[in-house]
Amino acid sequence: MGTHLWNRKHLLGMADLSREEIHAILDAAASLREVNRRDIKKVPTLRGKTVINLFYENSTRTRTSFELAGKRMSADVINMSVASSSVKKGETLYDTLATLQAMNPDLVVIRHPESGAQEFLARHLDASLVNAGDGRHEHPTQALLDLLTIHDNLPLLEQADFSGLIVAVCGDSLHSRVARSVALGLRTLGAEVRFVGPPGLLPPRAEEAFGVRVFHHLEQGLEGAHVVMALRLQLERMSVGFIPSVREYFAFWGLTKARLAVAAPNAIVMHPGPINRGVEIASEVADDGERSVILDQVANGLAVRMAVMYRLCGVGGGR
C-alpha cells in the first residue's frame, strides 16, 4: 500500500477528496480485505494506537465496522456510550471532545445529527477526526465503501472504469448524507449520477450543487442505469408530511423487479441500509442474489474503515 497519496489529518467529507486520494483508499481497502478472510483476523498495524467511537445517533453498520476495523488492526478501541455519558448532564459537544482529547487518542470517529459538527470540531481540536455521518451533510466512509463495491462489479457491468457508468440514486436524497457523499465521489471519478425521486424529496438545485441529473419519474431515471441505489425513506428527519402515505410511496417509488427491467443488463442494486422493506425497496429485489450487493457493501465497509484508520493514524500517510 503506497503512502504518497494521502496526507490528510481528518476525513470529513468527499467534497474535497481527489480522484487519486479516493483510489488510494480503495486500493488499501482491497488489500486489507484479505485480513478479514483469514482464520486469525488480526494484524499488528495499529498496535499502540487508540480509537474512540462517539455516536450521537443510532448506528449498526458504521459503529460496528469501525470498532471491528480497529480491533482487527490491534488498536485499542473505546466505544463511548452517549446515553450513559456526561452528555446527558448537559456537557457540550466541544467540551466532550476536549475532554476525550486530553486522554490523547489517535483518532476519534464521530456521528452527529448536526450538519457540519465535525468540521467545527476539526478547526478547534487537535485529534484526527473521521466523520461517520453529520446530519444530512456527508457520510464519506459510506461513499467509499459504495465506490469499492461498484469498482468490484465493473467487469460484470462491462465497464473499464467509472467514466462510462450511470448510477441512479433513488428516493429520499433530500435527507440523505449518503446521497450527497456518493454523488460527490462518483462525479470525481467521472460517472453520470442521477437523483431520482419526487420533487419534495430532492435537494434544492441538485444539478448545480452535486453535478447530477434529476428525474421525477422512476422508470425514466432507471433507464440504462448500471447501478441502482435505493435510499431509505428517512421518516425520522421529516417534521412535516413529505409523502401522502408509505403505501402510496411504495406504489410510485418502490424498487421492484418489474421496474428494474429498464435498467442496464446485469445492473446491480445497492442500499446503504438499514432497509425499509416494502417502502423504498421490495424484498424480491433486496434479496435477489443475482442483482443485490447490499451485504457486499457491508463487508466492504469493514475493509474501507480499516483503510481509513490505516491512512489517518499516521501509518499509511496522515500526519
Contacts with ligand CP by CB under 6 A lie at 59-62, 133, 142, 272-274
Q: Which is nearer to ligand CP, 264 or 306 (CB)?
A: 306
- Beta-strand relationship, 50-55 and 76-80: parallel
Q: Which is nearer to ligand CP, 63 or 192 (CB)?
A: 63
Shortest distance in whole angstroms from residue 158 CB to ligand CP: 28
Q: Which is nearer to ligand CP, 17 or 182 (CB)?
A: 182
50 forms beta bridges with 76
Shortest distance in whole angstroms from residue 142 CB to ligand CP: 5
Helix or strand (DSSP H, E) at 146: helix 140-152
Shortest distance in whole angstroms from residue 177 CB to ligand CP: 9
Alpha-carbon distance values, 252 to 51, 74, 200 (Å): 44, 48, 14
Contact predicate 14/184, CB 8 Å? yes
Shortest distance in whole angstroms from residue 113 CB to ligand CP: 12
Alpha-carbon distance values, 245 to 238, 242, 275 (Å): 13, 9, 17
Shortest distance in whole angstroms from residue 144 CB to ligand CP: 12
Q: Which is nearer to ligand CP, 221 or 273 (CB)?
A: 273
The phi, psi pair for 213, rounded to 5°, reads -100, 145
Residue nearest to ligand CP (CB): 62
User: Exposed/middle/buried for 119, CB within 10 Å: 0-12, 13-18, 19+?
Assistant: middle
Shortest distance in whole angstroms from residue 236 CB to ligand CP: 11
CA 21 vs. chain centroid, Å, equals: 16
* Residue 16 per-residue DSSP state: T
Residues 17 and 303: their CA atoms lie apart, in Å, by: 19
Q: Which is nearer to ligand CP, 66 or 162 (CB)?
A: 66
Shortest distance in whole angstroms from residue 188 CB to ligand CP: 20
User: Exposed/middle/buried for 129, CB within 10 Å: 0-12, 13-18, 19+?
Assistant: buried
Q: Which is nearer to ligand CP, 190 or 274 (CB)?
A: 274
Grid coordinates in use for 312?
489517518
Q: Which is nearer to ligand CP, 31 or 59 (CB)?
A: 59
Q: Which amino acid is at 126?
A: D
